Amino acid sequence: MLTLRPYQEQTKQAVYRHLRDRDDNPCAVVPTAGGKTPIMASICKDAVGAWGGRVLILAHVKELLEQTADKLRLVCPEVEFGVYSAGLKRRDTTHSVIVAGIQSVYRRACELDAFDLVMVDEAHLIPPEGDGMYRQFLADAKVLNPNVRIIGFTATPFRMKTGPICTPDGFLNHICFEVGVRELIRDGFLCPLVTKAGINKADFERLHVRGGEFVADEVENLMDDERLVAAACGETVGYTADRRAVLIFASGIKHGEHIVRVLADEHGIECGFVTGETPAKERDAVLGRFRRGELKYLCNVNVLTTGFDAPHIDCVALVRPTMSPGLYYQMVGRGFRLHPEKQNCLVLDFGGNVMRHGPVDNLTIKSTPNGDGEAPMKECPECMAIIATGYAHCPECGYEFPPPNRKKHDAKATEAGILSGQITDTEYEVRDVSYSVHTKRGAAADAPRTMRVSYCVGLNHWQSEFICVEHAGYARQKAAAWWRRRTPDAVPDTAERAVEIAEAGGLAHTERITVRTVVGEKYDKITAYKLGPLPEAIPAGAFVGYEPDDIPF
């Protein structure tokens, strides 16, 4: 007998409360690998054994049907259940519980007869409108039994173009329970995620968006560049020497074949490869070898995003961009499952997805009427202000944005954290330093100004900090401490004088900085410095009107 985890039991009870207290249909949000199937199996046991009802479970891939059937055998062996799936070569119609593939039954509601409960796995696939397979079947199910209740289960309760899946006039109306990724990682039910560090970011400006997603041909042409594939493969191999199972998501069939070829020719590594065109027998054989550990690397194109259960996966490499936060989540989610020999799962993001969508436990969901166009906001590299993409100059600090470079693309994986609150400390070599006087936008004329110090730590990446020499109290004390670590000269009273001294060579050169990134926070923070030797004191009178600072520290 299977015992539900505490949050699984809470989910089930929340579903029951909704069915008792409301007359519409609930949806439960449980992360990938959080165990939606045991919850559904337990509901089946109660519905049939305690209430004498009849239940249908709908899913869209063969793997999910097989998982559900296995869990039903564990949880309620006393319940007769059937399977209706062309892929599994079963067409049962008379059992108390039927597990069905939507592709096989969407036109056969009458053949299956009436149900009291219909549970939909991956419920975000129910379209908001039109005549899709789910909508057609569920509409027919309501004709057979007007009182049928529909229960949705998903890890991602939203759609790219239309937003939340629960709406007053939809098949699903209300989220009755939600448990988060961070909570389940904290409690030991999901595997921790980590990302590797690297400063440079991918540039996908040359791509167009159609129907809410990047144009597929453009994506593959961009990603299938010889240099990019070689670099991404090299980095993946370098970071996975001590990993057990590496799942790679490619941008297209040609791109995937290219990755497999480079891994073999340049690194002597065998990498399996499956696509939607791979024959079923061949696909099952490749996946079997990967699950048994005979293949360490497995590359796929759009087939292993949902329903694929390989708990030993400890690295996911996203060698493709996506505009869909749900697809991004599902790809990363392949590494959520626990395994006895797995401490964490490494996520290598070569597609800019973490920066585009945010950490997987706090996704940024953007909706556009047509699913077309560019992201509505961008970040100023000088003052870190978040502004509309249409600005050529930053309205906060005046920074002039360079014209789009539509040929540039970085072959390195992003450093962005995959979980909110995740802390990454990265040390960078400083290539250049600039100093300027900064006045806060909208401040009064007599408001204190600051000295902005900007460090160039990449080809076009600047990390800034603000030294509050004109402020009082603690801010002034921090500025004084910063200043005295860099020069024997007294702390100036104005930001203008501080800039004059700095630009005259009066401060020790900053050789390296350590930058702390906390996922979910707006700005990075410099936490440590490696400084060169102190300069000689500036001769008296070098700056007319300069008054020494006498604040003790």
100-117 pLDDT tens trace:
988 888 889 899 999 999
Position 407 scores a pLDDT of: 40
User: Distance (Å, rounded) from C-alpha 14 to C-alpha 186?
Assistant: 22
Q: What distance in Å separates the CA atoms of residue 318 and residue 307, rounded to the nearest whole number?
A: 18
Q: Domain map of the chain by residue range?
A: 6-179, 193-372, 423-531
Quick one: 208 exposed, middle or buried, by C-beta within 10 A (0-12, 13-18, 19+)? exposed
Model confidence band, residue 391 (pLDDT cutoffs 50, 70, 90): low
For residue 249, is pLDDT > 90?
yes
User: Is it the case that residue 422 has pLDDT exceeding 80?
Assistant: no
21's CB contacts (< 8 A; 6+ apart) are: none
Q: What pLDDT was estimated at residue 379?
A: 57
**CATH T-level topology, domain 6-179:** Rossmann fold (3.40.50)
Looking at the predicted structure, is the pLDDT value of residue 545 above 50? no
What's the whole-number mean pLDDT along residues 39-43? 90
Would you say 33 and 336 are in contact if contact means Cβ atoms under 8 Å apart? Answer: yes
What's the rounded Cα separation, in Å, for the pair 58 and 170? 17
At 549, the pLDDT band (50, 70, 90 cuts) reads very low
Fold of 193-372: Rossmann fold (3.40.50)
Per DSSP, what are the bridge partners of residue 316? 247, 347
What distance in Å separates the CA atoms of residue 228 and residue 367, rounded to the nearest whole number?
30
* CA–CA gap between residue 176 and residue 5 (Å, rounded): 18
How many Cβ atoms from other residues are within 10 Å of residue 460's Cβ?
12
- Count, in order, helices (H) and strands (E) of the chain: 15, 26
d(CA 122, CA 245): 25
Q: How far is Cα 442 from Cα 447, in angstroms, rounded to an integer? A: 10
269-283, 330-344, 518-532, range with the lowest pLDDT? 518-532
Strand (E) or helix (H) holding 134: helix 133-144
Instruction: Report the predicted TM-score, pTM, of the whole model to 2 decimal places.
Output: 0.66
Report the residue count for the chain.
Answer: 553
pLDDT in tens, 263-307: 999 999 999 999 989 998 999 999 999 999 999 999 999 888 877
Between CA 525 and CA 512 the distance in angstroms is 14
Q: How many whole angstroms separate alpha carbon 427 and alpha carbon 417?
A: 16
Tell me the CA distances in angstroms from 271 to 254, 304, 486, one per residue in order. Answer: 15, 15, 52
- Whether the CB-CB separation of 119 and 58 falls below 8 Å is answered with yes
Helices 6-21, 36-49: inter-axial angle, 10-degree rounding: 50
Q: Please tell me the least confidently modeled range out of 4-13, 119-128, 536-545.
A: 536-545
Whether the pLDDT of residue 395 is over 70: the answer is no
Average of per-residue pLDDT across 145-173: 86
Alpha-carbon distance of 21 to 64, in angstroms, equals 30
* Beta-sheet pairing, 271-274 with 297-300: parallel
At 318, list the tokens.
Answer: 């996203």
In the predicted model, what is the mean pLDDT of the chain? 83
Helix (H) or strand (E) holding 154: strand 149-154
Contact 198, 414 (CB under 8 A): yes
Q: Judge whether 124 and 106 are in contact, CB under 8 Å.
A: no
